[in-house]
């Protein structure tokens, strides 16, 4: 099996040197978070949050695609919308800003989006989905990819035919979350079905759903023979996870997971960046990252509760520094 993922765009071929990809995660995968993830994953494709094409055209959300060319590795821009013209225009803006590729969201189950015909609603409106891929492929030189699910209501909807049509229309890679829209996040992702789809398609197939650690990743590769894996919830609170999984599938030894002190210092670093970029609002964003990061060590729950109630960044830092000191005294800074 090749150790890279090759995407043949209209105008150019893109090579992704890692098989582990960061999911687009709304409210999470902003530029600041991507910078943390990148520290452990220099070669991985990292995604922006999903961006609405119509809003982008009107000038909203442009910060999400700003200066992507300055980031240290490949960044894919994910767009959601059901208007081919708007998606093409947004894709062009993202390409000009340094996007490595454009992904069209055909999987988001959120009602607010699917009611307007975007996200997973495109699984039902297949002609429009095809039109979107064709139009966007014409508009830009960089590769177009699609992220979708196994069906709208059930798995008997011939998603295979849908994906073959998208492939014929110009999609250069497809990521499949192994659940239907109706399933949301319930049950377990169906890797077996992703494996069946992988056999049918010529373009790279990326498996997604329930891959949280190196063991899951190896199992998923074995079951699906996919060209790559996409990690979503597994990254929350563990920005090193993509790097850790990449290490494991390359059979490299000696990945060093950050210890508790390093994780706590990561919270401070992340918070500082957020405050620098977004002012006081940065603390609100930091709170959810704090909840995800501050776990799995003795005293984590109490500290977490105090941290999310802290009224400013200074209090957060003080609490963390005190904890580090007391952990050091108690010699609880486990490797």
Ligand X SMILES: Cc1cc2nc3c(=O)[nH]c(=O)nc-3n(C[C@H](O)[C@H](O)[C@H](O)COP(=O)(O)O)c2cc1C
Catalytic residue numbers, as ranges: 108
Q: Is 303 in the site for ligand X (CB under 6 A)?
A: no
Cα–Cα distance, 104 to 136 (Å, whole number): 9
Tokens for 78, please give them.
Answer: 């994910």
Nearest Cα to Cα of residue 217 among 46, 41, 44, 20 = 20
Contact of 227 with 4, CB cutoff 8 Å: no
Nearest Cα to Cα of residue 289 among 273, 303, 270, 302 = 270
Q: Is 210 in the site for ligand X (CB under 6 A)?
A: yes
Cα–Cα distance, 124 to 298 (Å, whole number): 48
Q: Is 246 in the site for ligand X (CB under 6 A)?
A: no
Phi, psi (deg, nearest 5) at residue 101: -160, 170
Closer to ligand X by CB, 84 or 234: give it: 234
Please select the residue that binds ligand X; options are 10, 126, 182, 233, rule is CB under 6 A. Answer: 233
Site residues (CB under 6 A) for ligand X, limited to 272-301:
none
* Total residues at interface with ligand X (CB under 6 A): 22
Nearest Cα to Cα of residue 235 among 5, 17, 16, 46 = 46
Please select the residue that binds ligand X; options are 30, 49, 95, 183, rule is CB under 6 A. Answer: 49
Closer to ligand X by CB, 23 or 167: give it: 23
Q: Is 135 in the site for ligand X (CB under 6 A)?
A: no
Closer to ligand X by CB, 23 or 137: give it: 23
Contact of 133 with 102, CB cutoff 8 Å: no
Nearest Cα to Cα of residue 44 among 5, 1, 102, 2 = 5
Site residues (CB under 6 A) for ligand X, limited to 91-130:
105, 107-108
Q: Name the pairing type of β-strands 205-208 and 101-106.
A: unpaired
To which H or E segment does residue 25 belong? none
Please select the residue that binds ligand X; options are 167, 169, 172, 208, rule is CB under 6 A. Answer: 208
Q: Which stretch binds ligand X (CB under 6 A): 55-63, 207-215, 285-293, 296-304?
A: 207-215
Q: Is 79 in the site for ligand X (CB under 6 A)?
A: no
Closest separation in Å from C-beta 229 to ligand X: 9
Closer to ligand X by CB, 217 or 310: give it: 217
Cα–Cα distance, 173 to 179 (Å, whole number): 18
Please select the residue that binds ligand X; options are 7, 21, 28, 45, rule is CB under 6 A. Answer: 28
Contact of 268 with 316, CB cutoff 8 Å: yes
Q: Is 31 in the site for ligand X (CB under 6 A)?
A: no
The footprint of ligand X (CB under 6 A) covers: 23-28, 49-50, 78, 105, 107-108, 147, 177, 208-211, 231-234
């Amino acid at each position: 099996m090749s150790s890279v993922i090759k995407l043949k765009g209209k105008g150019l071929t893109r090579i992704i040197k890692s098989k582990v990809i960061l999911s687009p995660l709304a409210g999470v995968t902003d530029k600041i978070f991507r910078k943390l993830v990148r520290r452990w994953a220099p070669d991985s494709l990292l995604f922006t949050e999903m961006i609405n094409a119509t809003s982008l055209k009107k000038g909203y959300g442009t910060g999400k695609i700003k200066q992507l060319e300055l980031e240290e590795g490949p960044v894919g821009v994910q767009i959601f919308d059901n208007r081919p013209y708007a998606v093409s225009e947004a894709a062009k803006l993202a390409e000009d800003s340094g996007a490595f590729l454009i992904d069209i969201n055909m999987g988001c189950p959120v009602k607010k989006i699917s009611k307007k015909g975007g996200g997973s609603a495109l699984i039902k409106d297949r002609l429009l989905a095809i039109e979107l891929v064709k139009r966007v492929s014409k508009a830009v030189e960089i590769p177009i990819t699609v992220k979708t699910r196994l069906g709208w209501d059930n798995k008997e909807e011939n998603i295979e035919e849908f994906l073959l049509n998208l492939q014929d229309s110009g999609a250069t890679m497809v990521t499949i979350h192994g659940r239907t829209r109706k399933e949301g996040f319930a049950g377990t992702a169906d890797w077996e079905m992703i494996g069946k789809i992988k056999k049918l398609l010529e373009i790279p197939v990326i498996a997604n759903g329930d891959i949280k650690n190196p063991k899951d990743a190896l199992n998923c590769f074995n079951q699906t023979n996919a060209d790559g894996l996409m990690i979503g919830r597994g990254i929350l609170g563990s920005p090193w996870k993509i790097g850790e999984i990449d290490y494991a599938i390359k059979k490299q030894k000696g990945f060093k997971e950050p210890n508790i002190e390093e994780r706590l210092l990561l919270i401070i670093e992340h918070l500082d960046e957020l405050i620098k970029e977004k002012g006081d609002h940065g603390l609100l964003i930091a709170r959810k990252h704090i909840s995800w990061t501050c776990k799995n060590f003795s005293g984590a729950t109490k500290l977490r509760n105090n941290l999310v109630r802290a009224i400013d960044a200074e209090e957060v830092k003080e609490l963390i520094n005190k904890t580090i000191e007391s952990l050091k005294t108690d010699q609880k800074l486990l490797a």
